[in-house]
Structures are given as structure tokens and as C-alpha cells.
Amino acid sequence: MKGVGLGIFNHKTISVQFDPAAVAFFAATGITDPTIQAAINFRVRSFKGLDTTYNAPAYNLWDGGIFVDYPYVGGTGTTCKYNLKNPQNTDGAFRITFTGGNTFNANGYTGNGVSGSGNTHVQPDDLGQNTAGYYFYSRTAGTENKQCFTVQTGGSDEFGLYRRFSDNNAYVACNSGEQVLANADGSGFFVVSRFASNMFNTMIRGTNWASAQVSAAPTGLDIPIAAKNLSGVISSFSVTNWASFGLLSQTLSTQQMTVLTNIDVQFQTMLSRNV
Amino acid sequence: MKNLLLIFALTLLVVGCTKTEVQPTQPVTYSKVDVTLSKMLTKEKYKVLHAQKSTLRKTVLMVYSITEAQADSLRMQEFAPDQYYWPVQDCNGNWLITEEEVSQTVFSQWLWVKNLPQMEYCEPV
């Protein structure tokens, strides 16, 4: 069963078949822009393995890995808050609650480094100790000595990352301590997926590193964006420009991580915000 | 001759200081000195150093000063569709809301925030 929508291209009105999940997202957000609609429809169908242009093996990442997905389109707090996988206006559907000073525009979402952040209402223990992961697209290349997001209960990061610390390293944690990875460019697509109790993969702009970090029981704290949730206290606000964000509840293979990277990069290209 | 050299050196120092001032509303950036230091130090030591430097660095990011009572009344109130106030404290314990929160406020009951006094932001350690 396919949804049917209308798109206007080159001054001609033509019918475009949208995936039902895309239609639900448009209904929730009120997005009518044909470019954004086409990009969202591409994203959904590619994640589901229905559009194989950038997903040749037809992996079903939609049901086989992605727990929530935030494409940050539409340029408002309302359009950016919805979870593409379940675009209902409830915390239980993992809409983002944006607090403090934030900026929303065609390039996505950016906190202000003073008070801006969002609460996804997802907790690491929703994702599984040894199956958890996350991905996001950063449009900020420079260094930042604050985590893009993280959940901590102690001295070390437990779930989150510094995309590019001032020592030109990324510090990546996935229900574990931090793995240090050389990274002199803070922009592009990052994806992290745990595949064993003592290992997780980190793919940055298509290059993968396996990290030997032993997992610990995940916390029951809400995962923020653009901030740190330290034992329930929100602090350390980031100014990274996000163009997408998602959380994984099933392990992705490195091939699937590559496909996810390619889909997201193409999505950003369709929106003219790939860097 | 020595006096001339001294005056010249002092002039360069003053000009240099003037050029390195952070412009208003720009986020704090990290200089080459920070990067070099970070390579020399472990991350944890760098964090401590950075925190100490933050208290010394002149900050020109402007924010809006509020009282603690106002912070209590604003916290988690919706100021624009799907955006909520999140008052925070600066390095001196002063309560504040940010430029984005004030400029994007559209709901009539909160329009008084647009008349709040401004102050320079000082990042908490």
C-alpha cells in the first residue's frame, strides 16, 4: 500500500508515490516543500531497501537497526522534533523536546553553546547493551571540546562522542569508556555500532575503525542532543550544526554502516547541505 | 634606541591584543595556542586548563539577565512552537536566558523578556 501525494516540478503538477511512512511524516510536520518531500521519501525507501540506488544489497535498515531517526528538515522546532520512524506528537514516540537557545534552518539544527539542547526521550537501555549505536551528520568541521551529545553517570563517557576534540581526535563511547580515534575533520557522517560485549565499530566519512571497549550495563537516562546528561543534569552545551541524527538498537555490519553512510550523504546532497 | 624598540614592542602588543578580541555574539573559538597545548597535554589535563582559561578569557557573548524567581517562572514554558525556555546560570551564579530564546519568543505572555537587561556571558567552570 503506497501513499499518494502531489509534487510540483518544473511548473507541471505530477503525481508522486510516497511511502506511507513519508506521508505520515509530512502530515505530522506540515511539510509541503517538494524538494524536502522527495528527500524524505528517498530516505525512507532507501532505509527500507525499496530504493536500491544507494542500497544495492537492499538491506532493511528501517526494521533491522534504526530505532529512531531525526532528519532535521523544515527549519523549525516543530518540523525538526519529529521521529521519522514514528512521527507522533508524544514523548513515547520519541519526539524531541527542544529547550533553551537553538537555531533551526535549512541546514538543520544547531545549539547555541549556552543552553540549547534537545531531549530525545530515548534511553541507552532502550537500545541494548551490545546492540546499541548511533549516527549523525555534522556540518561543523572545526574543533569543539564538548561532546555533541552524551549520557554519563561517572567520570567517563558512556554513550556519546566528541566528534573532533582540539587534539584532532574523536572520542567515542558506546555503553563504554571512550575510544580515541584520529580525526582532523569534525564534519560528515558518523556512525557507531556495537557488535560484541568487547567491541564496537566507528565509521567516520566511510572509514571504519574497530574499537576494543568493554560494554557496561546501559543507563536509564534520557539521551540529549547538543548537551551532556550527567546523572540527570544537563550541561556542556554544544554548537555543532546537525543535519541528521539517529539511534540504533540492532547491530549493523560494516557493509550496512557503509550503506547508511551513502544514503545519508545522498539525502544531504538532495537538500543542498552536504559538506 | 632601546627605548624606541621598547615602544615598538609595546605597540605591537597592543595591536595584537586588539586584533584577538572576540566579536560580539560569536561563539568562543580555540586558538592555535589551544591546539598546541592540547597536543602536549592529556585530554583530562587539557579540560582542567581550558576550564581555568575560560574564567580568565574575556567573553563578549551577550545574554539576558533574569532573577531566580523569573527563572523559576520561565523554566520549561513554551516561548515559540515546540521550544521551551531553559534558564541557566553563568560563572557567577547569575540566572540568564539567551539571545535565541528572547528573539524567538512569540507567545504574548512572555513578550516581557524582550525588555530584559543584557549582560556579558561568562561560561561556568
Mean pLDDT, chain A, whole residue set? 94
Look up the pTM and report it.
0.83
* Nearest CB to A100 within list B47, B86, B123: B86
In the predicted structure, residue B36 carries a pLDDT above the cut 60: no
Say yes or no: A114 contacts chain B, CB-CB below 8 A: yes
Q: Give CA–CA dist B111/B79, Å, rounded.
A: 9
Distance, CA of A201 to CA of A194 (rounded, Å): 6
Which of A239, A261, A245 shows the shortest CA–CA distance to A147? A239
Q: Is the pLDDT of residue A221 over 90?
A: yes
Counting residues of chain A whose pLDDT is more than 90, the rounded percentage is 92
**Residue A108 to residues A34, A262, B64, B83, B93, Cα–Cα distance (Å):** 17, 18, 25, 15, 32
Please answer yes or no on whether B98 and A145 come within 8 Å at the CB atom. no
ipTM: 0.91
Label each residue of B24-49 as H, E or C.
Answer: CCCCCCCCHHHHHHHHHCCHHHHHHH
3-state secondary structure of A180: strand
Q: What is the pLDDT of residue B44?
A: 59
Q: If you average pLDDT over residues A125-149, what whole number do you get?
A: 97
pLDDT in tens, B108-117: 999 999 999 9
Q: Where do we find the cell 547569575?
A: B94
How far is CA A264 from each of CA A202, A246, B44, rounded to the nearest angstrom?
A: 16, 11, 33
pLDDT digit string (tens) for A73-116? 999 999 999 999 999 999 999 999 999 999 999 999 999 999 99
**Measured between beta carbons, which residues in chain A are less than 8 angstroms from residue B82?**
76-78, 81, 97-98
**Model confidence at A60, in pLDDT bands (50, 70, 90)?**
very high
Task: Report the percentage of chain A scoring pLDDT > 70.
Answer: 93
Judged against a pLDDT cut of 50, whether residue B29 lies above it is answered with no
A102: which chain B residues are within 8 Å (Cβ-Cβ)?
Answer: 83, 100
Q: What are the C-alpha distances in Å from A77 to residues A20, A100, A104, B113?
A: 23, 12, 6, 20
**pLDDT(B21) > 80:** no
Q: What is the pLDDT of residue A154?
A: 78
With residues binned 3-state (H G I as helix, E B as strand, rest as coil), the percentages for chain B, rounded to 5, are 50, 15, 35
CB contact under 8 A, B86 and A76: no
Task: State the average pLDDT over residues A17-41.
Answer: 98
**Once rounded to an integer, what is the mean pLDDT over residues A180-202?**
98
Interface of A with B in 243-262 (CB under 8 A): none
Picking from A67, A273, A230, A239, the residue whose alpha carbon sits closest to that of residue A143 is A239
